[in-house]
Amino acid sequence: MTGPRLTPLAASLPATVPFVGPEEQERARGAPFAARLGANENLFGPSPAALDAMRAEAAEVWKYGDPKSHHLREALAGHMGVAPQNVLVGEGIDGLLGNLVRLLVAPGDAVVTSQGAYPTFNYHVTGFGGVLHKVPYRDDAEDLPALIDRAREVGAKLVYFANPDNPMGTWARGVDVTAALDTLPDGCVLCLDEAYTEFAPEGTAPKIAADDTRVIRMRTFSKAYGMAGARIGYAVADTGLIAAFDRVRNHFGMTRMAQAGALAALHDGAWLAHVQAEVARSRDVIAGVAAENGLRALPSAANFVAVDCGKDGAFARAVLAALVERGVFVRMPFVAPQDRCIRISCGPAPEMAVLGEMLPQALAEARENT
């Protein structure tokens, strides 16, 4: 008897999960986290109107979700100032990235990203046999001109650039992103991940025509809208590329409840403004806690702050481990020199108080043991 016969590509890949979930860590430590500050979730929660919409739709859960996400696409088109045909709704940016790579990247094709940037993108590229070319950060920020230079050198079909960046929280001006498009080599697409754009300063989001075939923009309801568990993302691009997703996407991937919740959240501007204000206050709190402990917080345009622990990656990992032992879930960049930092998500006052209490203890333990 033979087992399943994997494709040669699948058989060659390691079984990996880009991120170890906090639930798995809680099971390992035998206790829940007192402060869940590692996944860049919106701890301030979703719009009450979104919750009401999802509760109302629960009675209709026996129905499949609209495979076109018609009402949500119409609303998103208005929100972005484009036509509905320029918008695609999908299972979070992660799902959209997977389908984008599937559409554009064949085995052996070159793809460019930053060394230490969002690992789920790399996971998809590797899963479809693409060849990743990685460019170092510059001054803790993704270096878009260098990314495009590398794309030209290797003949890349796809470049990934997050603005604002995860894991560092740094950002580029929208006008600089727009200008960089004019240097992109022919036949190459820039994937602009704007997951954190609602937290960024005015002028961070570039002005790009919806029919510009050089770029696809991706946004999400996971961050500012507080709906990470509902898995709702959307892409904006030229109608030809958006239509191409119908060749590969999971047409029934969006639940009715998720679509209804996202539509309600999009219309609740007051709640979004409330979250933005709370995140801004929390960033200041994290920076203050860092300073009180002799550390430096990097400026951030996201709902998290990268805190420079002042030494190397080994020391930062020791600080992270000591925080986890004390019930504070945080994460950190994977690649030097950015791995000298830990990354702390914004949260309400109780979670910030736990951080303020436990960080000095974690630092003391790390200094003693490294």
Residue 145 belongs to a domain with what CATH number?
3.40.640.10
> Residue 107: pLDDT band by 50, 70, 90 thresholds?
very high
Residue closest to 321 by CA, chosen among 335, 311, 332? 332
Distance CA 188, CA 321 (A): 41
Does 195 lie in the same domain as 289?
no
Q: Among residues of the chain, what percentage have pLDDT more than 90?
A: 97
What's the CA gap between 240 and 132, in Å, rounded?
25
Q: Which of 155, 88, 159 is nearest to 121 (CA)?
A: 159
Count of the separate structural domains present in the chain? 2
Q: Which residues pair with 297 in a beta bridge?
A: 307
Q: Is residue 339 part of a domain?
A: yes
Tell me what pLDDT residue 19 has: 83
Instruction: Provide the CA 124 distance to its chain's centre, in angstroms.
Output: 14
Q: Is residue 4 part of a domain?
A: no
Phi, psi for 206 (deg, rounded to 5): -75, 160
Name the band, by pLDDT with cuts 50, 70 and 90, for residue 294: very high
Which of 267, 302, 333 finishes a domain? 267
Using one digit for the tens of pLDDT, what is the confidence trace for 57-80? 999 999 999 999 999 999 999 999
* Residue 196 counted as domain residue: yes
Q: Are residues 262 and 292 in the same domain?
A: no
Are 233 and 261 contacting, i.e. CB atoms less than 8 angstroms apart?
no
Residue 16 binned pLDDT confidence (cut-offs 50, 70, 90): confident
155 shares a domain with 219: yes
Using the 3D structure, point to which of 267, 298, 331 is the last residue of a domain: 267
pTM value surpassing 0.75: yes
Q: What is the pLDDT of residues 141-169, one digit of tens each?
A: 999 999 999 999 999 999 999 999 999 99
Please tell me whether residues 289 and 173 are part of one structural domain. no
Cα dihedral 68, 73, 75, 80 in deg (nearest 10):
180
Would you mind telling me the total number of residues written for the chain in this entry? 370
Decide: 105 and 157 in contact? Cβ < 8 Å.
yes
Same domain, 212 and 329: no
Residue whose token pair is 């979703």? 46
CATH number at residue 34: 3.90.1150.10
b/e burial code for range 264-288 (CB count within 10 A of at least 16 → b) = bbbbbeebbeebeebbeebbebbbe
Q: What is the mean pLDDT of the chain?
A: 97
Answer yes or no: do 86 and 190 share one domain.
yes
- Span 350-370, average pLDDT: 97
Neighbours of 20 (CB within 10 A): 11
- The range of the structural domain enclosing residue 295 comes to 16-45+270-369
Judged by DSSP in three states, 274 sits in helix
The amino acid that residue 77 corresponds to is A
Residue 323 in this model has a pLDDT that exceeds 80: yes
Q: Looking at the structure, do residues 82 and 223 belong to the same domain, yes or no?
A: yes
Which pLDDT belongs to residue 1? 66
Could you tell me if residue 9 is inside a domain? no
**Which candidate, 155, 161, 153, 166, places its Cα nearest to that of 178?**
161
Looking at residue 111, the DSSP 8-state letter turns out to be E
Residue 168 and residue 66 share a domain: yes
Q: How confident is the model at residue 318 (pLDDT cuts 50, 70, 90)?
A: very high
**Of the candidates 243, 267, 291, which is a domain's last residue?**
267
CA 90 – CA 103 distance, rounded (Å): 15
CA atoms of 267 and 262, how far apart (whole Å): 9
Q: What is the 8-class DSSP label of residue 248?
A: T
- 26 and 81 part of one domain: no
Q: Give the chain's count of helices (H) and strands (E).
A: 13, 12
- Give me the helices (H) in the chain, please: 8-12, 22-29, 48-58, 70-80, 92-104, 119-127, 144-154, 174-181, 239-244, 256-267, 269-292, 313-325, 349-369
Cβ atoms within 10 Å of 368's Cβ, excluding its own: 9
Among candidate residues 219, 221, 218, the one with its CA nearest the CA of residue 262? 221
Residues 6 or more apart whose Cβ sits within 8 Å of residue 283: 297, 300, 305, 346
Place of tokens 């990203």: 113
End-to-end CA distance of the chain: 52
> Would you state the pLDDT for residue 59?
96
Q: Are residues 131 and 34 in the same domain?
A: no
pLDDT > 90? residue 18: no
290 and 166 together in one domain: no
Q: How far apart are CA 222 and CA 133, in angstroms?
A: 28
pLDDT of 239 > 80? The answer is: yes
In the block, residue with structure tokens 């000591």: 322
Q: Three-state SS for 191?
A: strand
Residue 31: pLDDT band (50, 70, 90) is very high
Classify the C-alpha dihedral 167-346-233-320 as positive or negative. positive
> Does residue 331 form part of some domain?
yes
Whether 57 and 151 map to the same domain: the answer is yes
